[in-house]
A = this chain, B = another copy of it.
Amino acid sequence: MKPNVAAAMAELSHLEIDENPATIRNKSRDFFWYSPVLKAEMDHLEADFVVNPKTEEEVIEVLKTCYKHDVPVTCRGGGTGNYGQAMPLAGGCVMHLTGMNKIKEIGAGYVVAEPGIIIKELDEELKKASGQEMRMIPSTASQASLGGFIAGGSGGVGSANWGALRDLGNIDRLRVITMEAEPRALEFTGEELHRVSHAYGTNGIITEIEMPLAPAYEWVDMFVRFDSFRTATEFAGQLAAEPGILIKLASVYAAPIAHKYFQRVKAHVTENDHLCGVMVAPQSMAGFQTLLSRYEGGEVIYRSDDVKWDRHPGPVFEYGWNHTTLRALKFEKDLTYLQVRYGDDIEKIMKAYETFKDDLYMHLEVMREGAGLSFAGLPIVFPKDKAQLDDLIAKHEAMGCMIFNPHRYTLEEGGRQSTDQRQLDFKREADPKGLLNPGKMIAWDEPDFDYADMYSYAKITPKPEAAE
């Protein structure tokens, strides 16, 4: 351990610190292994020590002390991010926040909470206390933290109705601690929210969050079978489009995903069945049934309010979003995936479906976007190395599909490959030494980077082979 790191750790020794190597390794890793590319780059990364603050005062103390000693701080919630967001590229301190998990206030339509609370627990408490729930949750809700969702996520279950996290009104207020000689606590609302939301903790640590809520309903989880992928897709789109039908999820899994990878669904489908996974409010079931009857061959094979299967499949949302790939990975560990945006263009989706038959299985999620809809694709991609993946991405882009590359660990490469000026400006203010989650914001490290190939952080901890 470098002397500056040791000094910081010593100064923080009255806090809850993990020194056990297994714990450190564990808390230094997230779901980066989802990507074969990131797995190759990041598998060796580890923090020097892990600290577990329980209050904002302790967070401030960690940031102040690490600032003094020039120690990098990478923040971590549930560690479910799948781009290595929470992994310390240059070692140093991992600050684990799940101990900071209090709910501070529940009001009509909103909640104020600490960042470390696990989203599922928050949702259960909200429902019990007020009949409300989060507008949207990641499919990892049972492990993910609220702060990690805001700093590292983008939307998910609920986006079929409420759009993405970044849409106006989906985050109300964030309280943020800067990493300076004297850390400041700042409160952000409105346009300022985007300084730190989805910034991977590179420019401040979120210590309090105010989120808008939705009414909690006894959502009816369903699987709906179709003979044709096009029909399944059209149905999912129209379901989300109907303003009078309240839904929380509309996923489409092209054949043979359900038969091949959904263990508890397998017995109820053939390898030619295309499936929709949906969550519908009970009072919208009549409208749902009416709509479904307009689509040829659509058949509800499972509904959570009337379970006829021997083995309960669990929540349907845990088949959607990134969980589709997760389920496939359990069967074939070399599979991977992409993140595609098709807009609301079903013909483009059908073209991709035909064109990439030998490369991937289609998986779609419907989201509200602007005044309309957008289909987000999270296709299951057959085993590919980095060059093949890059080629597949290029082919998608040539077809007019936008790609958010999940095989990169920087903010820019996972996004629109351009500098987010607000995030960069705020990093200049809030993290003058560049110690917060270093290496994740290209604009900070290398403003002239040309995106010709994958970015590689210059100061990343070298791989053991290379270090030997």
Binding site for B on A (CB under 8 A): 107-110, 131, 135, 161-163, 167-170, 172-173, 189-191, 212-215, 217-218, 237, 240-246, 281-284, 286-291, 293, 344, 368-373
Contacts and interface: CB of A to CB of B under 8 A. Distances in A.
Contacts of A217: 108-109
B344 A287 contact: no
A372 B343 CA distance: 13
A218 B286 CA distance: 29
A191 B372 contact: no
A287 B168 contact: yes
B163 A243 contact: yes
A244 B168 contact: yes
A368 B242 CA distance: 9
A212 B289 CA distance: 15
Given A110-B283, A242-B370, 19 more contacts: A107-B283, A108-B282, A109-B217, A109-B281, A162-B244, A168-B290, A169-B244, A169-B246, A169-B287, A169-B290, A170-B287, A172-B283, A190-B293, A212-B283, A213-B283, A214-B215, A241-B371, A243-B370, A371-B372
A235 B243 CA distance: 20
B290 A242 contact: no
How many identical chains are in the complex? 2
A369 B110 CA distance: 28
A331 to B, nearest CB: 35
A245 B135 CA distance: 11
Contacts of A172: 283, 286-287
B370 A241 contact: yes
A164 to B, nearest CB: 8
B108 A284 contact: no
A162 B108 contact: no
Nearest to A130: B131
A371 B371 CA distance: 7
Contact of A284 (B131, B163, B169): B169
Nearest to A245: B169
25 contacts: A108-B217, A108-B218, A109-B246, A109-B284, A110-B283, A162-B244, A163-B244, A167-B242, A168-B242, A168-B244, A168-B245, A168-B287, A169-B284, A169-B288, A170-B287, A190-B289, A213-B283, A215-B215, A241-B370, A242-B370, A243-B370, A344-B371, A371-B372, A371-B373, A372-B372
Contacts of A237: 371
A125 B293 CA distance: 35
Contacts of A371: 237, 240-241, 344, 371-373
Given A169-B288, A190-B289, A190-B290, A109 B243 contact: no
Contacts of A288: 169
Contacts of A169: 242, 244-246, 284, 286-288, 290
Contacts of A131: 131
Contacts of A243: 161-163, 167, 368-370
A212 B244 contact: yes
A156 to B, nearest CB: 14
Contacts of A373: 371
A370 B238 CA distance: 8
